[in-house]
């Protein structure tokens, strides 16, 4: 099929940037902003996206819809798209590009059966399109070729087969390494501060682990703004690993660490100028109960 109109749900930082790149490449790009914040509306407008009044209208207009949001809301959004398609009789393709476990995307595939919505499994690696560079989106499933039509339009699409869940597995393993490592470095530095050996550890790392120390400093600058999004991602990784008989404990621990960051530093409006030392000092002073895995603990919020 020929993809002419693409839907973006939702136009957060990544979604709006991908949508803007697709629009710049000549495609019609549509989103639905019902109930969304002013910041999201401004981001969508700046990207040049066309607004649909509701999901029914969007599903009828779009050849392909990209779901790009926090993991905790992926299945609910897919169900809403499926319900809208059932009501209006639309036939469309939904590419779930969220950081979710293979078994989660397989559950979404089952949810959409008979809805008129065909699922493509997607996994995004890399930052939003800018400066001539864009993310890679791994794609799998019987209709992965539909997502592959977007290759070269501000993004790179990498097909990885016909199995639903394979693209998500690539994303899970990659994020387990990158974001999981960021959590480990943050946790060990907080432990060093609480054991009063932080300065000694930093001095040793400057001598023998300069690369990892620089990476830890880079992560510290980003964590206050992204930790709330990474909590659910770590939980999905833990579930994916547990499903295949690999310990989930590394990434349940990473989720704990990101909850602590979110609770102590705040995901929205956090001071983005904090350096490594100040970040670790504030986290070390925080109450560990803030990261407890209980119903009152901070959870990932929808991307605005």
Looking at residue 207, its pLDDT comes to 97
**198 has a pLDDT exceeding 80:** yes
Q: What angle do CA 127, 234, 244 make, to 5 degrees?
A: 115
Mean pLDDT of all residues in 14-31: 96
**298 has a pLDDT exceeding 70:** no
Which of 130, 164, 198 lies at the terminal end of a domain, its last residue? 164
Task: Tell me the residue length of the chain.
Answer: 304
pLDDT digits (tens, 9 = 90+) for 237-265: 999 999 999 999 999 999 999 999 999 99
- Give a yes or no: residue 298 inside a domain: no
Q: Do residues 46 and 183 both lie within one domain? A: no
pLDDT digits (tens, 9 = 90+) for 36-70: 888 888 999 999 999 999 999 999 999 999 999 99
- Give a yes or no: residue 31 inside a domain: yes
Q: Do residues 199 and 99 both lie within one domain? A: no
H/E stretch holding 118: strand 117-125
Q: Do residues 19 and 107 both lie within one domain? A: yes
Range of 282's domain? 169-291
Q: Which ranges of the chain would DSSP assign to H, the alpha helix?
A: 13-24, 38-46, 55-61, 74-88, 102-111, 144-148, 166-194, 198-208, 210-243, 249-265, 276-285
**1 has a pLDDT exceeding 80:** no
Looking at residue 303, its pLDDT comes to 43
- Give a yes or no: residue 297 inside a domain: no
Mean pLDDT of all residues in 272-276: 79
Using alpha carbons, list the distances in angstroms from residue 287 to 119, 265, 277, 292, 300.
42, 12, 18, 10, 19
> If you average pLDDT over every residue of the chain, what do you get?
92
Q: Do residues 176 and 279 both lie within one domain? A: yes
Mean pLDDT of all residues in 213-229: 91
Q: Do residues 204 and 249 both lie within one domain? A: yes
Q: Do residues 205 and 131 both lie within one domain? A: no
- Give a yes or no: residue 304 inside a domain: no
pLDDT digits (tens, 9 = 90+) for 89-115: 999 999 999 999 999 999 999 999 999
- Give a yes or no: residue 301 inside a domain: no
Q: Do the Cβ atoms of 12 and 68 come closer than 8 Å?
A: yes
Q: Do the Cβ atoms of 221 and 275 come closer than 8 Å?
A: yes
3-state secondary structure of 78: helix
The phi and psi torsions of 276 (rounded to 5 degrees) equal -60, -50
Which of 121, 140, 164 lies at the terminal end of a domain, its last residue? 164
Q: Do residues 40 and 186 both lie within one domain? A: no
CATH number for the domain harbouring residue 155: 3.40.50.720
Q: Do residues 108 and 20 both lie within one domain? A: yes
Q: Do residues 106 and 230 both lie within one domain? A: no
Task: Give the chain's domain count.
Answer: 2
What is this structure's pTM?
0.91
Tally of CB atoms within 10 A around 36: 19
Rounded CA-CA distance 233/72 in Å is 8
Which of 164, 185, 219 lies at the terminal end of a domain, its last residue? 164
CATH number for the domain harbouring residue 201: 1.10.1040.10
- Give a yes or no: residue 299 inside a domain: no
Looking at residue 297, its pLDDT comes to 47
């Amino acid at each position: 099929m020929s993809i002419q109109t693409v839907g973006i749900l939702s136009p957060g930082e990544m979604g709006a940037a991908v949508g803007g790149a697709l629009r710049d490449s000549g495609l019609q790009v549509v989103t639905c902003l019902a109930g969304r914040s002013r910041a999201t509306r401004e981001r969508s407008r700046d990207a040049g996206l066309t607004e649909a009044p509701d999901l029914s209208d969007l599903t009828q207009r779009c050849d392909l819809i990209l779901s790009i949001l926090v993991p905790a809301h992926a299945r609910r959004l897919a169900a809403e798209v499926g319900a809208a398609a059932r009501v209006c009789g639309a036939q469309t393709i939904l590419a779930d590009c969220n950081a979710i476990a293979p078994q989660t995307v397989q559950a979404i595939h089952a949810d959409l059966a008979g809805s008129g919505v065909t699922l493509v499994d997607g996994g995004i690696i890399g930052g939003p399109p800018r400066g001539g560079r864009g993310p890679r989106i791994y794609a799998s499933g019987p209709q992965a070729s539909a997502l592959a039509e977007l290759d070269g339009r501000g993004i790179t699409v990498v097909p990885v087969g016909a199995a639903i869940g394979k693209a998500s597995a690539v994303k899970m393993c990659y994020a387990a390494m990158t974001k999981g490592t960021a959590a480990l470095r943050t946790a060990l530095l907080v432990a060093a501060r609480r054991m009063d050996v932080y300065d000694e550890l930093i001095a040793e790392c400057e001598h023998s682990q300069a690369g990892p120390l620089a990476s830890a400093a880079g992560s510290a600058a980003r964590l206050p703004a992204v930790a709330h999004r990474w909590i659910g991602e770590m939980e999905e990784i833990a579930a994916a690993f547990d499903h295949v008989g690999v310990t989930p404990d590394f990434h349940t621990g990473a989720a704990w660490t990101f909850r602590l960051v979110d609770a102590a530093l705040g995901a929205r409006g956090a001071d983005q100028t904090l350096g490594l030392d100040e970040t670790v000092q504030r986290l070390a002073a925080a109450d560990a109960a803030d990261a407890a895995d209980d119903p009152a603990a901070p959870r990932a919020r929808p991307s605005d």
